[in-house]
Structure 1
Amino acid sequence: MVKVKIAVFGREKLIDRITKYVEDQEDIEIFPFVYTETKEVTELVEKAFMCDIYLFAGSLPYLYAKEKVEKKRLPAVQVDFDEYMILTSFYRVRNHHKQELNRLSIDVMSRRHVDKVLNEMELTNEEIYTYSYENDEPVDINRIARYHENLWNEGKIDYALTSIEEVESILKEKRIPTSCMKIPLLNIERAVDQAKSITTLNQSKSAQIVAGYVQIKEFDLIKAEKGDFQAQQLQLKLHQILLNYSQKTYASVLSNGNDKFVIFGTRGILDHITNHYRDFPLLKEMERALNTSVDIGFGLGLTAKQAEDNAKLALEACTQSNDGTCYIVNERQDTIGPLGVEKEFNTSELYRSLIHQAKLNNELSYNFIDFIEIRNNEPFSSNDIASYYRVTKRSAERTVKKLLAGEVIKVVGEEKPYMKGRPRKLFQLNQ
């Protein structure tokens, strides 16, 4: 059994809770990275290179590591700091600390969760003061502590509830009644399950084999017009370009002896393809160097044979155009392309419909627009969204339901699964 290696960043007590939760799960291995001050997480991230995924036990450690995580495109999850956590924290304040839920200050990453809870409990912002550090760059622990302290000195609060242990320590030294929120077990369970799901998704993606067929368009006609020597020079130039490409993408290049080249690879090529739906530089480089059109057909599969068969289908799709083109046929035999040809869509109209019709927040809306641009407005599945956002399939399906309900997207077909199971739907923008 291949274990999922999870790097966990947090304080010792919290990591102990997470370790205890997974101790009976044989498919998980925890690598603890303990800190005493949250800012230490920035350096600890560098030491977790052997792990499959990074789990941050709280909002603040993730904020400290966010720049490195995004720069290196590290798979990461954080324990949710949500309404449930705030509700359980309020319960402890009222029942364990005997403090009424008024004249209270609280610091959180995002105030929207607090606002929802206050609304449900029919409390007002006049009774509870909220500090949100979501947009603080950088997060200043002393500033957050001063927020509580100033309210205390002004006689506006009787108690401070914090999400940061360092803030709790500062306030206790000043003899201000305070406590730090405790992460509920449910939130820990969800984060661990999400980490497993994302890793499994990434591993299944990396298990795919990519085959590519590359040929100069109308090569026989070029031979007849320019002679064998000129045609052979073109083939040598094409071969060199493909060798350079294979080094960048950890692939192999072979000649099939029939005026075509065959590329075999895995994750490296797949990542390059998915990152260049709109501008496929390999095709442009070939045509610029050879001064003639080139066709490329990529096939995806779980076996070399399946990938090669799909690559042949993709190359056939190239014959529909007089110009050089590139198509992909995936393991479900969906044809995607042509690559490098921008499929336009109305960005501002899409943004408005995401906000007003699908009711997505700003961040999700911008991310979805990026997703559509990167995929060149090709049909997609909920699995594609899960892979792009690095979230669970269930979370991706929730987003898809909102998009369908708001008529932002429409169903345009079904995936043809290569294993048993129900077909999965394919979607496209409803523009």
Structure 2
Amino acid sequence: MESVVRQYPEFSYISISYWHDEEIIEKLTMYKKDVDMWLFSGQIPYGFAKKWGGIVQPMFYVPSSGSSLFKTLLQIAYNQKIPFEQISFDMFHPDELERVFKESNIAVKPPYLKYYEGEVPTDEIVNYHYELWKNGKTLAAVTCLKNAQHELRKLGVPAFRVLPTQSAIVSTLALILQTHETMHFKDTQIAVQMIEFDSFSSLTKDTFSTDEIYKIEIKMTEKLLEYTKKINGSLKAAGPGRFVIFTTHGLLREMTRDFTIIPDFEILQLRGQDAVTSGIGIGKTVYEAEINAGTALLHAKEFHKGASMVILDDKTIIGPLGRPEQITYGYAPKHLQILSEQTSLSIATLSKLESILRKIGKIEINAHDLAQHMSIMPRSARRILTELESKGFAQVIGEENPHPRGRPRKIYQIILKQDL
């Protein structure tokens, strides 16, 4: 892959290697602020990164195609003389593997194949091949994972790796360039930030007067003009305590570090932690961006004063910015629409719940943790979980008691995707 990437002067790259699955997230965390795009050598590290959800940049992986497998089969047949029916394979879809054999005029149907999608522990792949070899069912293994090949050879198993072809790498690099151009276009999209300021939050009984409120409004306007200048935008007042800023997607994305922090924290928190609520909207037109910003502001208010939310042009919702409970969710996936019709829960609530489960990497949660992630009261979280339980989309699988004298907390297993 490096030898191919070096042929493209438009790319500068960092080469990152790992030997154990648990290193993947550690390496991604180490370099995530230094890259614009991620290119993975295969779908397993890509799957781990996607499941983790900590990467905001576009991610790609080079697929292992039938032509790359054909090269490996040719090497085995010519150099090793190993019968194909005594070889174990992994990753390839059964139909694809059968097609490669058929096109190669190999009159054998491969009997041993571990097909997988997404992230699979390397140990699971190694054990699959090793057990077959140890029990005398196979004489060799063909794997798409470098680390699996390395471990199998340490165990004495003749292991061959399917390497991506140069054409597959070139095609993926072309897709990366195309994505970069698309992102550059997106950076020029209109962005609108609506800011609502509570003038009364910093007043005391001794200073409560219309003159003081007016002074606060003037000072806030001055500060927002400074902030607007930083993002090359324009500011307009939209009523008492509410302001609208017009700028571009790219500038706001940079200011918020890919929509993870509150833009210019000092200005937006000018009068205390709970004073400023913000909604950011991205759109193809000014009207669309302004509508999205207003909707994002309403979502921010659902959390609490001081929250900032974002709605992108594809209706993806991100937020609250700068908080550990930040999640990303979207509107109306089909399975959530159907689930919403069968329960008393809104699509937005179900979408948030699905995003939280994806973020924590498991489908078990209690009401206390759900309340923290959603910024709602524990009784509201319990209502959500009991509603799902009553309709068969959740079940209690245990209890935990973090405090000896407290009430045990029920642990629920959530099943949002079913044959509805």
Q: Report the TM-score when normalising by structure 1.
A: 0.48
